[in-house]
Structure 1
Amino acid sequence: MSSITVFIIDANESTQHALSRLMRAAGFRVFCTGSVNELLRLERPASNAVILADVDTTRLFAETLPRCLHDKSQALPVIYLTDYDTEYMRKEARRMGAVGYFRKPIDDQALLDSITFAVRQSKVRNAG
């Protein structure tokens, strides 16, 4: 599935670099931003894309990011990444429709599998 595009939102440039290197090695297209506002300014594909969002960087958490994307008619699957995992954060992410939630350091293969699964599920939802 080399046509997948991954948007990474993380204020930490070394994390952006590491994640983008992993995504490119898997054959994905990658765009990195340091904030949600930067992401909202980017031209995003309507399908075959997913957002990896650092919970601490977004400062909007699960509730606001999907709403911002929906308001722009560009609802892409969101996978949250965090340094500080709590039960509350996991529940909020699920409640707001996150397709994945990972604590750093991240299992590379699990993340890649989650991205591929999220894009496939998104295609199924959009087709039906």
Structure 2
Amino acid sequence: MLSAWAPERHTLESPPRKVAVVDDDLGMRKSVARLLNAHGFETEAYASAEAFLNRASPSVIGCIVLDIHLEGMSGIELWHHMKRSNSQIKVVFITAVDDDALESEAVKAGCVAYLRKPFPADSLIRAVNEALTGSPAE
């Protein structure tokens, strides 16, 4: 059963800066979090969509780096759930699967970026910066 996840609205003056990393691969989750931390982003890591929904604090999260293929609820399902809840959190999808139809669905769902693993570190940093500020990092 999903929690009654209710995102909070943010003002333009104080957008949240924390990045949630949701990936069921422990190594990838840790690597992405370390990379983001090294570039000045605060992170929270979750092993599943359900863990994110049950424990994340939407008022402080501005971006989610979200694996598409998760055990249980998929990343796309989580994103649709968040959208139905009127979430303003931006998403960067990551995946190891080369699937054009899935990429098209993710883009239609409104993701900031769709990155195929292994992706260059600077691609992720640019995407997260764009998600949090509205413009890519230089």
Q: Structure 1-normalised TM-score?
A: 0.82
Q: Give the 5 Å matches for 1:1-128.
A: 4-41=17-54, 42-45=56-59, 49-57=62-70, 59-62=73-76, 64-121=77-134
Q: Which consecutive residues of structure 1, in runs of 5 or more, have no partner in the other structure?
A: 123-128
- What is the match of residue 126 of structure 1? none
Which amino acid letter does the alignment assign opposite residue 66 of structure 1?
A: W
Q: 1:73 to 1:92 in 2, by over 3 A?
A: closer
Which secondary structure state, in structure 1, belongs to the residue aligned with residue 43 of structure 2?
strand
Shift of 1:34: 0.9
Which amino acid letter does the alignment assign opposite residue 86 of structure 1?
A: D
Q: Which consecutive residues of structure 2, in runs of 5 or more, have no partner in the other structure?
A: 1-15
Share of identical aligned residues, percent?
Answer: 22
Which amino acid letter does the alignment assign opposite residue 102 of structure 2?
A: M
- What is the match of residue 5 of structure 2? none
Say whether the 8 Å CA contact 1:40–1:69 is kept in structure 2: no
Q: Structure 2-normalised TM-score?
A: 0.76
Shift of 1:121: 2.5
Say whether the 8 Å CA contact 2:90–2:132 is kept in structure 1: yes
